[in-house]
Homo-oligomer: A and B are copies of this chain.
C-alpha cells in the first residue's frame, strides 16, 4: 500500500465521483479506477458502492478514511518539518567551548552570531578538551572551540584566530616593572591550572618546562588562578582574551618576548552533514577576532 493510494481513496471518498477525484489528483479516471480497485483487493474490503450515477463510500470505507487521513497528514507533516529543517544554517547548534575561552569569547560573539545567523539556535557547552572531544564523537555536540591540534580520521578542524598569551604578575612582583617579559622568566614561580585544562600544558611549555611540574598549587578555574596571582602567590600566563578579567582582578599584564600563544580552532566530525553551519559559525568568530593577535585588544 502506498500513500498515493490513500490520497486517491480520500479523493474519491470526498468527491463521490471518479472523474472529479481523478482530476483533483492530477491523474486520469481509468488510472484512479484501477488503483482503487487494487486497494480494495489488497484490503479485501469493498470501499465504494458504484452506480453509473453515484459513488458512495461503504461503511467499511468510512471506518478507514480516518486512518487514511491521519497517515496522509503525518506524511505532509514530514514534508513541512523537513522544509523547516532544510536550511543547514537554522536549528539547534551545540557548540562546545573550553573553560579558559568560554567566559571571555562568548560575550564577544553572541551578538555577531545572532545577527549573521538569526535562525541558528546556538547552545554553548563548556567543558575541558577531552570531554568536548568525547561529546563531539558521541554526536552530543555539533562542533567545538578548542585550543589544541586534534585532527584525526574522524574529526576535522580549522584555525579561527591566534590568541597570544600575556604574563600575569602581582603588582609588587619584580617583573612588573618591565615592559616586556621573557617566557622563561616566569618559570620560577609560575602557577597553573588543574589537570585537564589545555592551558596548563601550554603555559608550562611556553616557559620551557619539559618534564614534570612540581608546583603544588593548581587552580580549578582561570578566575581562581587570577585571584591567586593577584594575591601574590606567583605568576602565570593567561590567554589574551582574559586580559580584561585579569586587570579587573588587579593583575599587571605584560607582553611576552617570544610572543607565545595558542590558536583557537573549531572542530567537527569529518562526516557531520551541516558543514555549512560549522563554516558559518567559524567565519563569524574569525571575523570578530580579526586583528586581535596584532592589536592585543578587542
- The residues of A with any CB-CB pair to B shorter than 8 Å are 1-4, 6, 43-46, 49-51, 56, 58-60, 63-64, 67-68, 70-71, 74-75, 77-79, 81-83, 85-86, 91-92, 139, 154, 269, 271-274
A63 to B269, CA, bound (A): 21
Instruction: Judge whether A60 and B85 touch: CB under 8 Å.
Output: yes
Report yes or no: A51 in contact with B81, Cβ–Cβ below 8 A: no
- Considering residues A3, A68, A85, A86, which has the most beta carbons from chain B within 10 angstroms of its beta carbon? A85
When distances are taken between beta carbons in the complex, the residues of chain B under 8 Å from A70 are 70, 74
Question: Could you tell me if A82 and B45 are in contact, using CB atoms closer than 8 angstroms?
Answer: yes
Task: List chain B residues, Cβ under 8 A from A60.
Answer: 82, 85, 91
Which residues of chain B come closer than 8 Å to A68, judged between CB atoms? 74, 78
Q: Is the CB of B274 within 8 A of A85?
A: no
Q: List 9 A-B contacts (CB under 8 A).
A: A1-B79, A2-B4, A43-B86, A44-B86, A46-B273, A67-B75, A68-B74, A71-B71, A71-B74
Instruction: State whether A59 touches B1 (Cβ < 8 A).
Output: no
- The complex places the Cα of A59 from the Cα of B120 at a distance, in Å, of 14
In the complex, chain B residues whose CB is within 8 Å of the CB of A45: 82, 85-86
Q: Nearest B residue to A274 by beta-carbon distance? A: B46
* A50, A78, A81, A85 pick with most chain B CB within 10 angstroms: A78
Nearest-CB residue, chain B, relative to A48: B273
Question: Out of B64, B74, B79, B272, which one reaches A43, CB within 8 Å?
Answer: B79
CB–CB A43/B1 < 8 A: no
